[in-house]
Structures are given as structure tokens and as C-alpha cells.
Amino acid sequence: MRPEAGAHLWDAAEAARLVYEFTRGRTMVEFNTDLIIRSAVERQLEILGEALNRLRREDVDTGARVPDLDKIVGMRNIIAHEYGDIDYEIVWRAATTSIPELLPVLDELVAEARRTAGI
């Protein structure tokens, strides 16, 4: 693992954790009607996608270990550039289904990066 990968992985894991926290215990109706929560989730998904995009550019091998990396970066691009066309059902599913599955992978990669760096 390249040394700079650790920072990108930490950013990605932190953003994913915040998405999980923001949506935990909420319904899709609450998500859709609460502009603050929806905006917070969108922002963290942007950060997640950008961090993983940088990871994939700087450390291809580590990036390849992140499941659905291309989809995550694609969602980031839609949120950032096609904001008028966001499908919030897809965002909700990603936040409540994909993120909980992604978190352990990111946490393990962060731990590996720390071991590699001797931290």
C-alpha cells in the first residue's frame, strides 16, 4: 500500500461513518423530507467518492480492493455535477444498505495503512 493511500482511506471511512450515523434510525420518508439530513448525506457521499477517486488514481492496487469503487465515484459525480437529476431512492439505498457493508472494508484498509506506516 502506498503511503498516501492511508489519508484517502481515512477520509473515505470517516465520510461513510457519518452517512451511516446520519441515516441510522431514520426512514426514507424522513430522509426525503429533512433537507438538512439529505444535504449532509449528499455532502458525505461526495467526500467518500472523491477520496476513493483519489485513492484509485494514486494507488490502483488498493483502490481495486474497495467494492463498487466505480459506482461510488459515479454517485459522487452525479451529486456534484448532475444535482438536478439525483434519484434519492438510490441515494437512500446506498446510504442504508451499501454503506454498512462498505464500512468494515474501509476500516480494515485504514488499519492496514496504519500498520504499513508503523502507526
Per-residue model confidence (pLDDT) at position 107: 97
How far is 119 from 104, CA to CA, in rounded Å? 19
pTM of the model: 0.94
Would you call 67 helix, strand, or coil by DSSP? coil
For the chain, the structural domain boundaries read 5-117
Strand ranges for the chain from DSSP E: none
Rounded distance between C-alpha atoms, residue 62 and residue 1, angstroms: 6
Confidence of residue 38 (pLDDT cuts 50, 70, 90): very high
Give the integer Cα–Cα distance in Å for 32 and 89: 9
Residue 26 appears among annotated catalytic residues: no
pLDDT digits (tens, 9 = 90+) for 71-99: 999 999 999 998 788 999 999 999 999 99
| The C-alpha cell that represents 18 in the structure block | 457519518
Q: Which of 75, 56, 58 is nearest to 66 (CA)?
A: 56
76, 93, 114, 115: the catalytic one is 76
Q: What is the mean pLDDT of residues 36-49?
A: 98
Q: What is the pLDDT of residue 3?
A: 86
Q: Are 11 and 106 in contact, with CB atoms under 8 Å apart?
A: no
Active site residue 81: yes
pLDDT at residue 119 greater than cutoff 80? no
From the list 57, 81, 93, 114, the catalytic residue is: 81
Q: What is the pLDDT of residue 84?
A: 84
